[in-house]
Chains A and B, each alone.
Chain A
Amino acid sequence: MLFTLILFRVLLSALTKYPVSRKGRKTRKTKLPLHKHTPSGKRGDDIRPKPPLHVTCSTWLLPESCEADVNTSENIMSLKKALSAASPLTLRIVAECPVTKARACDLILPHSAVSTPVFMPVGTQGTMKGITVDQLEGLGCQICLGNTYHLGMRPGPDLIEKANGLHGFMNWKRNLLTDSGGFQMVSLVKLSEVTEEGVKFKSPYDGKEILLSPEKSIDIQNSLGSDIMMQLDDVISSTLKGPRVEEAMHRSIRWLDRCIAANKNPDKQNLFAIIQGGLNVELRKACLDEMTQRDVPGFAIGGLSGGEEKNDFWRMVTLSTDHLPREKPRYLMGVGYPVDLVVCVALGCDMFDCVFPTRTARFGSALVPWGSLQIKHNQYAKDFQPIDPDCQCPTCFRHSRAYLHALFKSDTAATHHVTIHNIAYQLTLMLSVRRSIVEGRFPEFIQTFMKRMFPSRDQYPGWAVDALASVNVTLE
């Protein structure tokens, strides 16, 4: 791993072979009498650890499914060629769970095919917090997020367009999804004002007043060149009640239409609608009725995952998937924790994004099937196993908890190792979910998953029990 060298930051150059000639002195040959090590490879050996299964397809973590998916990818690519003229997005439903509402699909996008259910890591400013695009690709990531607000500020859409879009700028060859900038406008900026025109706010970098309208958001996203763009929606807090919720819902519909009209690249970039309506059943339904009348390639379920009660959360999710078309992807924004992912797949969602795994890694929290390990805690100082003995990621392949614990005291490389592990964990989880759906055993998977995650049945979160019961899974 590169970072083990960065760890101690100092390497030593050996001048071993050649005589040192000095004026007027005889030359001397130096041979280090020390070299007891005979490196196993040649001098130029690549020191990156090779994971035990070195395959290049997106499912390197699970060898059996890789074979199946290689065949599928071939089918997908020929399918893609046939359909690419027609639309920049094709959804092929591979399997549907007969018990729950879960589906396993192949989502074919301009840059590559994506297996769903999929977790999309968030690379806010055109980078995945310290991870190179090679590493991200090696983990099997097929699609990740960039952030329109941040990138629109720095370095700005014009520069990125000059760099051949965000793909060219960050050198990411697979798919990108950009959000509209709406969420940041509201969550990050104090003095923002929402009008019918758009969202007015003061830039934190130079104090200038900026208007983010649907047209402007799509314009920036067109410059970024993402494979999936999100409409600008009127974002409100998920715990807000009252007439503002209805106003925001209706406005989001109007803004959706403006976004559709503003999209300069409908043949290359997919615009997703975002269902709003807060926690109100009628408003959600009204929004669903309206938005599903627009011919967009996919739908996101928005306005959730913002601190509302979990009981309200899952009901809105399942209500939404009930009314969204079967043949289009459903993207649940801002989710999330492993349990949430599994449950929401059962409720019919295909795509997810969340900063959680990458953010929590920087705090030293490593995700495991039975919860999480706080690596910085003293109990791991002498724990010489890897984070998860069953995990195949590069971090678990090479490093122990004790080493990472020590590393956290001196080097940021520690956060990179844990970030890689956490992304690997989430991606592997989704692959396992997908496989179980394809093999017709998703309900059993859910049971095993929950048993591993919680010490006992009475610790299962109530909302999860209810949500799963609503799709015919009674937790044992």
Chain B
Amino acid sequence: MSNLPSVSQVTLSHIAEHQEALEEFKDGFRKFAGLHDTVLYCSLHDPATPCPTGHTTSKTVSVWGSGGRIELTVAKFMALQKTVQPDWYQSMADGETWPKNTSRKRVRKSVDRSLAHLDECLLVHHKSQELESVEVFGVVEGGDILEERLRSARETAKRPVAGFCLDGLQTGCMDQALRTQLITAVTTELPEDKPRLLQGVGRPDEVLACVEAGVDLFESFFPFQVTERGCALSFSFHISPELAVPALDEERDTAGEALQNGDLSLDDQTQMTSFEINLKDERYRDDFRPVVEGCGCYCCKNHQRAYLHHLLVTNEMLAGVLLMIHNTTHYHAFFGALREALANDEMDLLKRRVLGERKD
């Protein structure tokens, strides 16, 4: 794969259980994993896997590894960051405000705790030699309550952080209208010259709205989720008429039900969206076209839908490999188009292309 973004993300959910090995390794996670030359961002949780609730305390948060729950104090959290040595990490935060009907009191606690954790993290951070060239992102919490969001943003912005993670706004926990409103308000309180990373949002329609609200960075778990359900991203994002592929619109309409933002609950993230095609469907059995015509990825250059269909039906591992390649490439090409549209002031055209006849 080429043309990948310059940043990769790793999560403590995966790394926490390997702390001992990493400590002995000493040279940081990038080298341990044989990762290519990349900027590394370390998050707390894996955005693709919602966590069980009820385990966060005033002093700890929890991650779930292959062997079960691992409780993290700030001390342990920071010890892990020292072994990972990312380029930046999100500070430890309490983001458990996404379940419906989270009380105001609970939301307030999450803001307070996250600020306290941030201050503790920064203390340890500045004393630590291993983290000398590493940056910290503060985490803005506040659930769905505007005042709390503003409070969290203002307070976090006072700390010496390099950027901001916006937490508790994941796909499925609120509709896009509210999300846009909150993000727009929050970014007013944040400095212009520091990046804003939105956690847990990846669907193309939501991405477009959040970019307009002021977000700079997104996590790329959406292509993975699409792959896991045996689907392939197929939505069009080409504005110039030569590149537009009309056939795709017809497919998209018939592929899945048109989903309104906010219809999904957090559990339904496995549901297919209208941005993809389900290659397991019988109709692709003898479809010898590439997954997406004109896509330059390895999968589309070398294989056909019929072959992918066969691999999915027979439960072959290669299906996931090829789909992940395609979905990742397609998704990042979308972001390339998005950046270009912003530069050329063509956002309206892009939105119309991606969103089709949907009402915004």
Contact = CB atoms under 8 A, between A and B. Distances in A.
Given A12-B41, A406-B21, A130 B220 contact: no
A15 B197 CA distance: 10
B3 A154 contact: no
Contacts of B314: 125, 150, 154
A31 B194 CA distance: 7
Residue of A5, A18, A33, A162 contacting most chain B CB atoms (<10 Å): A5
B335 A15 contact: yes
Interface in A34-50: 34-37, 39-41, 43-49
Interface stretch (B69-77, B258-266, B301-309): B301-309
A473 interface: no
Given A10-B11, A130-B321, A384-B25, A155 B87 contact: no
B193 to A, nearest CB: 7
B14 interface: yes
B8 A159 contact: no
A129 B315 CA distance: 10
B310 to A, nearest CB: 5
B14 A8 contact: yes
Contacts of B241: none
B242 interface: no
Interface stretch (B231-239, B248-256, B322-330): B322-330
B267 interface: no
Residue of A35, A37, A129 contacting most chain B CB atoms (<10 Å): A37
Residue of A128, A134, A406 contacting most chain B CB atoms (<10 Å): A406
Given A4-B35, A129-B317, A155-B306, A162 B286 contact: yes
Contact of B310 (A11, A33, A126, A403): A126
User: Which range holds the interface residue count of chain A?
Assistant: 35 or more
B219 to A, nearest CB: 5
B148 interface: no
A4 B304 contact: no
A20 B342 CA distance: 7
B239 to A, nearest CB: 15
A99 interface: no
Nearest to A32: B195
Contacts of B20: 381-382
Given A8-B14, A11-B4, A47-B2, A382 B24 contact: yes
A402 to B, nearest CB: 5
A169 B303 CA distance: 8
A35 B214 contact: no
Interface in B16-68: 17-18, 20-21, 24-25, 32-39, 41, 46-48, 65-67
Contacts of B339: 15, 17-18
A125 to B, nearest CB: 5
Contacts of B195: 30, 32
Interface stretch (A242-250, A273-281, A408-416, A427-435): A408-416
A127 interface: yes
Contacts of A15: 211, 216-217, 335, 338-339
A323 B67 CA distance: 57
A382 B41 CA distance: 24
B37 A34 contact: no
B1 interface: yes
A30 B6 contact: no
B322 A43 contact: no
Given A4-B33, A30-B216, A382 B25 contact: yes
B192 A39 contact: no
A75 interface: no
B286 A10 contact: no
Contacts of A13: 5, 7, 217-218, 220, 332, 335
A22 B325 CA distance: 33
B324 A6 contact: yes
Contact of B6 (A2, A39, A131): A39
Given A34-B162, A403-B34, A8 B65 contact: no
A382 B194 CA distance: 38
B9 A132 contact: no
Contacts of A2: 1, 321, 325
A81 interface: no
Interface in B184-221: 192-195, 197, 211-214, 216-221
B285 interface: yes
B101 interface: no
Interface in A370-422: 381-382, 384, 398-400, 402-403, 405-406, 409-410, 412, 415-416
B321 A22 contact: no
Residue of B8, B307, B310 contacting most chain A CB atoms (<10 Å): B310
B272 interface: no
Contacts of A412: 317, 320
A7 interface: yes
A contact face: mostly helix, strand, loop, or mixed: loop
Contact of A12 (B24, B46, B218, B303): B218
B105 to A, nearest CB: 32
A57 interface: no
Contacts of B345: 21
A154 B310 contact: yes
A159 B285 contact: yes
A8 B9 contact: yes
Given A40-B37, A127-B311, A381-B21, A14 B87 contact: no
A40 B317 CA distance: 32
Contacts of A22: 212-214
A205 B263 CA distance: 37
Nearest to A153: B314
A83 interface: no
A36 to B, nearest CB: 6
A9 interface: yes
A133 interface: yes
B313 interface: yes
B322 A132 contact: yes
Given A4-B35, A12-B217, A382 B21 contact: yes
A10 B39 contact: no
B360 interface: no
B318 interface: yes
A190 interface: no
Contact of B342 (A18, A399, A406): A18
27 contacts: A4-B36, A6-B324, A8-B46, A11-B328, A11-B332, A12-B7, A12-B197, A12-B219, A14-B7, A14-B216, A16-B216, A18-B342, A37-B38, A43-B3, A125-B310, A129-B316, A154-B313, A155-B309, A159-B286, A169-B306, A170-B307, A171-B303, A171-B307, A382-B20, A402-B25, A403-B34, A415-B317
Interface of B: 1-11, 14, 17-18, 20-21, 24-25, 32-39, 41, 46-48, 65-67, 87-88, 133, 135, 162-163, 192-195, 197, 211-214, 216-221, 224, 285-286, 288, 298, 302-304, 306-307, 309-311, 313-314, 316-318, 320-322, 324-325, 328, 332, 335, 338-339, 342-343, 345, 347
Given A171-B307, A410-B66, 18 more contacts: A4-B36, A8-B14, A10-B46, A11-B4, A12-B8, A14-B39, A22-B214, A37-B6, A39-B38, A46-B1, A49-B34, A49-B36, A132-B298, A163-B288, A169-B310, A409-B65, A412-B317, A412-B320
